[in-house]
Amino acid sequence: MKQSKIKMTPQRMAILDYFEGNTSHPSAEDIYKAVKARYPMVSFATVYNTLAKLKELGEVWELTIDDERKRYDPNTNHHSHLICTGCRKIADIHKGFEIDVPEEHSQGFKLTGHHIEFYGLCPECRASADIV
């Protein structure tokens, strides 16, 4: 963010720190609650605007795989996701999947990438539902 001449406030640094090593795919609300615990005066607008800037800079992915809220992923390396249909937990899959869309099915699109989502129940939801 320094290269884009964005003023680095303590609140913005706290947002960046929150992402460090975070694989939980948090929502803006999750990030806001965590940062607000350290900086009670932080506004939701600061969090949301910082996330929008990070997305614009390519520093986070904005995931729309949760019907209830957008989630954010600081891992911008190509990967796919597992999504629990019970608790909505999201986990990364760090394996490439070869997908070839034949030209007759591409509808004239020039393909530039893809994202794969897998759905199921996480171990905790399976255990609580007695599903093997």
Give 15-61 pLDDT, tens digit per residue: 999 999 999 999 999 999 999 999 999 999 999 999 999 999 999 99
Q: What is the pLDDT of residue 64?
A: 85
Q: What is the pLDDT of residue 47?
A: 96
| Domain 2-73 fold | Arc Repressor Mutant, subunit A (1.10.10)
Domain spans in the chain, listed from the N-terminal domain onward: 2-73, 80-128
What ranges make up the beta strands (E) of 32-104? 61-63, 71-73, 80-84, 90-93
Q: What is the pLDDT of residue 16?
A: 92
Beta pairing, strands 80-84 & 117-120: parallel
**What gap in Å lies between CA 27 and CA 63, rounded to an integer?**
9
Q: How far apart are the first and last CA of the chain?
A: 46
Q: What is the pLDDT of residue 8?
A: 85
At 91 the three-state DSSP class reads strand
Answer yes or no: are the C-beta atoms of 42 and 32 closer than 8 Å: yes
**What gap in Å lies between CA 37 and CA 125, rounded to an integer?**
29
Percent of the chain with pLDDT over 90: 66
Residue type, 86: G
Q: What is the pLDDT of residue 84?
A: 93
CATH H-level superfamily of 80-128:
Ferric-uptake regulator, C-terminal dimerisarion domain (3.30.1490.190)
Q: Both tokens of residue 97? A: 């999947």
